[in-house]
Amino acid sequence: MASISTKVGNFSIENPVILASGILDETSGSILRSLRSGAGAVVTKSIGISERAGYPTPVISEIKTGLLNAVGLPNPGIDNFVEEYKEFPEKKRTVVSIFGGSVEEFVTLSRRVEAAGFDKVELNLSCPHVQGVGSEVGQDVGLVEDIITEIKRRTNLQIWSKLTPNVTDIISLAKASEKADALVLINTIRAIGVEIYSRKFVLSNVVGGYSGPRDKTCCLAGCVRCLQGNREGYSWGWRNYNMGRCN
Amino acid sequence: MQHAKVISIERDNKDVFTLVFDSKISAEPGQFIMIWVPGGKEIPMSLSSTSNPPAITFRTFGETTRTLATLKPGDRLFFRGPYGNSYPRPTGKVAYVGGGTGLASLNSMILKYDGDVFAGARTKDDLFLIKDGYKVATDDGSLGFKGTVVDLFVPHLSEYDYVFVCGPEPMVKTLIDRLDKKTKTRIFFSLERLMKCGIGICDSCSINGIRVCKDGTIFELQEVLKMTEFGISRRRESGKIEFFATAKR
C-alpha cells in the first residue's frame, strides 16, 4: 500500500489528516477518539492563561454554504489543562493551540505546555472575534515575530503559526513567522449573519468567523500568496509548509 | 434557522409549559431541537410530541425559558433541528421512567407505544403530563409512593422487555448503580449534558469522547456503563472538569 506519511517541520506523521483546532478537541477523550479513529494528528482547542467560559449561545449558525461560529475561546485555563492531560498517552501526536495577549503570556503558556510533556504548539494568532488576542495580536507583524523568537529562545518546542486571512498582507505575517516550523492557513474568515424575520444577529457575539467548502478557495489563495512571498526571496523554507484548514 | 407559528401554549404546572407549533419537521421520538430566542440564548430541548403538529414541554428555569413561556399563539418560534438519534421501536412489555423534566422526552414515545409510566418529582406540584394509571413517586409523599422514582421502579425491572429512562444525571446514575447489570431487559437512556452546538462539533457535551448530541442522546445500558465519567464529572462552559456533588470519587 502506498505510504501517505508526511512531515510538518520535524514532525513525521503517518497520514496528513490533521484535526484543526476548535473542532471536537476540548476534551482529552474526544482527542483520543479522533486519533484512534485515524487522524494523523490533532490540534487542541486554544488554551489561555485563565479559565474562560466563552460566549453565550448561539455560538454557531448553520448557513447554506457552511458555518458561522463565535465560540469565544472557551478553555479551562492552562492549570486545569495540564492537570487533565497528566496521563494523556498521545502527547506526541497532539499539538497544543495557545492564545495570549502578549509575548510573556505566549512564553508562559509554551513553557507550561513543554513541561507537561508536549513538544508542539500552535500559536492562535488568528481568532477573528475576541478582543485583545487572536487576530488582534496576529496582525501586528512585529509582535508575531517577537512571540515566535522568544518561544524559540526559551523552549525546544516546534512552533506552528496559525495565520489570519483577515488582513491585506498575509505575506508579511508569513515572513514574520519565518522562525516557526510550520504555517497553518487559515483561521476563519470574519463574518456576520442576520436572521431576517427577527431582524437579529444570529451569533451572540454578532461577529464570528465563516468556515465551509467555500473558504477552501480563500485558504488556497493565502497559501499561494505565502509561497509567492517565499519565491520573492523570504527565507522560510518550502518544507515547513502546512496547508491546514483546507476542507 | 427554521421558524414556525405557535399554535398553543398551555401551563402544565406552576413552572412547566407545553408549546405546540405549526411545523412539518420530520422527527422521531427522543430527538431534540435547538430553540433560539432572538436576541437571547439558544438551548437544546427534547420534543414532547413528534406527531404533526410537534410540541415541546419545558420548565422555566432561566431567562430563555421564561421568554418562551410568554409566547402567544401566532408568534414565531425559531429553531434548528431535529438532531440526535431516537429511541428504538420496542417490542414486548414496555416501561418508561422519568424524573425531573425527563417525562417531556419520554412523552414522545408514550404517545406512540403503550407502556407503564413511572414518574418522579419532589412534590405533587412538580409533576406534569401525568395521566390516569401512571405510577407516581414524590420525595415528600404528597402523591403516590414516598421516595424516588428509582426506588419505585427498580423492583419491577425484570417484568419488562424494554425500558426507557430520562432524567437528571445523578438520578440516572443511581438507577444504573442499582440495576442487575446482567438483566435481559433492554434499557435505553436519554442523556442530558451542556450543549452549545447540537451538531457534534463543539465537544461541550462529550462523555469519554462520546458526543451526547450526535452519538446520542439515546444510549443503551452497555454503552453508558463504558462511560467512566458518567455520573461522576461533567464539563463547565469553559471545558473545565467539575464533579457531581453526588459522585463517589
Closest-CA residue of A relative to B210 is A30
- Per-residue pLDDT tens digits for B160-178: 999 999 999 999 999 999 9
Partners of B214 on chain A (C-beta within 8 Å) are none
Please judge whether B210 and A56 are an interchain contact, meaning their C-beta atoms are less than 8 angstroms apart: no
Asked if B237's CB is within 8 angstroms of A33's CB, the reply is no
Contact A96, A88 (CB under 8 A): no
pLDDT tens, position by position, B117-136: 999 999 999 999 999 999 99
Tens of pLDDT, residue by residue over A171-196, are 889 989 999 999 998 888 999 999 99
Query: Chain B contacts of A25, Cβ < 8 Å?
Result: 203
Interface list for chain A against chain B, based on CB atoms closer than 8 Å: 23-27, 29-33, 45, 51-54, 56-62, 67, 71, 74-77, 80, 84, 195, 197-200, 202, 204
Residue A177 near residue A236, CB atoms below 8 Å: yes
Active-site residue, A127 included: yes
Considering the domain architecture, whether residues B210 and B145 belong to the same structural domain is answered as yes
Cα separation of A34 and A40, whole Å?
9
| pLDDT for residue A116 is more than 60 | yes
Cell matching residue B206: 462529550
Beta strands in chain B (DSSP E): 2-11, 16-22, 32-36, 42-49, 55-59, 76-83, 94-98, 116-121, 135-138, 145-146, 162-166, 186-190, 206-207, 210-211, 218-220, 233-235, 241-243
Q: Is the pLDDT of residue A236 over 50?
A: no
Looking at the fold, whether B71 and B133 belong to one and the same domain comes out as: no
Question: Is residue B16 situated within a structural domain?
Answer: yes
Query: In sequence order, what are the residues at sequence separation of 6 or more whose Cβ sits closer than 8 angstroms to the Cβ of residue A181?
Result: A8, A9, A10, A11, A158, A159, A160, A240
pLDDT score at B249: 59
Does residue B25 sit in the same domain as residue B131? no
Q: What is the pTM of this model?
A: 0.92
CA B62, B66, B67, B73: dihedral to nearest 10 degrees? 150
Asked whether residue B21 falls in the same domain as residue B43, the answer is yes
- Burial readout A73-96 (b: 16 or more C-beta within 10 A, e: otherwise): bbbbbbebbbebbeeeebeebbbb
Where among B49, B83, B117 does a domain terminate? B83
Nearest alpha carbon to residue B230 among B205, B197, B208, B202:
B208
What is the CATH classification number for the domain harbouring B62?
Answer: 2.40.30.10
Domains of chain A: 13-47+73-188 (3.20.20.70)
Band of residue A238 on the pLDDT scale cut at 50, 70, 90: very low
State how many domains chain B has.
Answer: 2
Asked whether residue B117 falls in the same domain as residue B53, the answer is no
Going by pLDDT thresholds of 50, 70 and 90, the confidence category of residue A243 is very low
Q: B46 forms bridges with which residues in the sheet?
A: B32
In this structure, the answer to whether residues B156 and B113 fall within a common structural domain is yes
Mean pLDDT of B146-153: 97
**Are residues A51 and B240, on separate chains, in Cβ contact within 8 Å?**
yes
Residue A235 pLDDT > 60: no
| Domain range enclosing B107 | 94-243
Q: Do B193 and B159 reside in the same domain of the chain? A: yes
User: Is B88 inside any structural domain?
Assistant: no
The per-residue pLDDT for A218 is 79
Facing residue for A27 by CB, picked from B36, B76, B206? B206
Instruction: Measure the CA–CA gap between B34 and A59, rounded to whole angstroms.
Output: 12
Rounded mean pLDDT of A44-69? 95
Per-residue pLDDT tens digits for A138-175: 888 999 999 999 999 999 999 999 988 888 888 889 98
